Amino acid sequence: MNAPFHQPPQMARANGVELCYEIFGDPAAEPLILIMGLGAQMIQWDDDFCRQLAARGFRVIRFDNRDIGQSSRLSGGKPLTALELLKLRLFKIPVKAPYRLSDMAEDTVGLMDALGITSAHLVGASMGGMIAQEIAISFPRRVRSLTSIMSTTGNPKIPGPTREATAVLMAPPPKSKEEYLARFGKTWKVLRAGSFPDDEALDPARAERTFARGLNPAGVGRQLRAILASGSRKERLRSVKAPTLVIHGTVDPLVHPAGGKDTAASIPGAKLVMIERMGHALPIQMWPQIIDAIDKHAHAASTTTMH
């Protein structure tokens, strides 16, 4: 088997923003779009993870969401305050946001338009899972299958993150490159919720690459506002027709495992895979299980939808 075809990063105009994207795999293969989470660049979908998916017969497309990495940076929206979070939790007073998850869903659909893709398999992690859910609700014809990983429905009854994970999420932006590089490993140690030596060995290089592509702390704040301003999808998820797979770690410190269970319970016919010892990350040793599950699910969806 030859190494899958790889196109270097390019820019596309989508929904009024510029998105940086990259493609792995045969141009004739079925399109599979990877949507990343809050404050995470597309390279959090590891190159080798993308190659392994491409080797299963997919044209794998990853991209930087708006306000992250090399994609368009927007403006407006102040850093989130504890008071706003309290008002949201206690009095259901919504957080103000320059854009919502529905706008980010339209970004993804705009990228598909730019690439001439009528429908694709969608795989979203964390906030990316929320965006993929929005696409499945609002643009059902564009979705061949949906895989929602370590995500949730926005249901306010789901338990919140652990204290450690909250601290990671709300930490002020690093002041220097050194501080960023030091913090990267610590952050992932919390999110992985355990020791994963293969990933820890790669953290310094991953941190350097992420830093080199450009940080945008204000953008991460706007993305967080988008999540909080978008409310619950639970009721609307009942309308989802796409074959759905939900993957969640049993020890996720950021999005409680109940979030994955709630997602699967809310979408008719959804399958749920709980991965033992997995936190809020995609550790290398769990790739075989995750990639197998995505592969089987997407290919099964293709055979059932073929006319």
Task: Phi first, then psi: give them for residue 72, nearest 5 degrees.
Answer: -55, 140
CATH number of 6-305: 3.40.50.1820
Q: What is the pLDDT of residue 304?
A: 75
Q: Helix, strand, or coil here: 128?
A: helix
The whole-model pTM stands at 0.95
Q: What is the pLDDT of residue 307?
A: 38
Domain segments of the chain: what residues? 6-305
CA atoms within 13 A on the CB side of 228: 25
Contact at 8 Å (CB) between 258 and 158? Answer: yes
Alpha-carbon gap, residue 245 to 123, rounded angstroms? 9
CB under 8 Å to 169, separation ≥6 — which residues? 38, 161, 224, 254
Res 76: pLDDT: 83
Residue-by-residue pLDDT tens, the chain, 307 positions:
455 689 999 999 999 999 999 999 999 999 999 999 999 999 999 999 999 999 999 999 999 999 999 999 998 877 777 777 777 777 777 788 899 999 999 999 999 999 999 999 999 999 999 999 999 999 999 999 999 999 999 999 999 999 999 998 888 889 999 999 999 999 999 999 999 999 999 999 999 999 999 999 999 989 999 999 999 999 999 999 999 999 999 999 999 999 999 999 999 999 999 999 999 999 999 999 999 999 999 999 988 755 3
Please give the Cα distance from 91 to 68 (Å, whole number).
31
HSE-CB at 219 with a 13 A cutoff on CA atoms is 20
Q: Distances in Å between the alpha carbon of 216 and those of 20, 46, 65, 263? A: 15, 20, 12, 30
Q: Looking at residue 4, what is its pLDDT?
A: 61
**pLDDT computed for residue 305 by the predictor:** 57
Query: Amino acid letter at 305?
Result: T
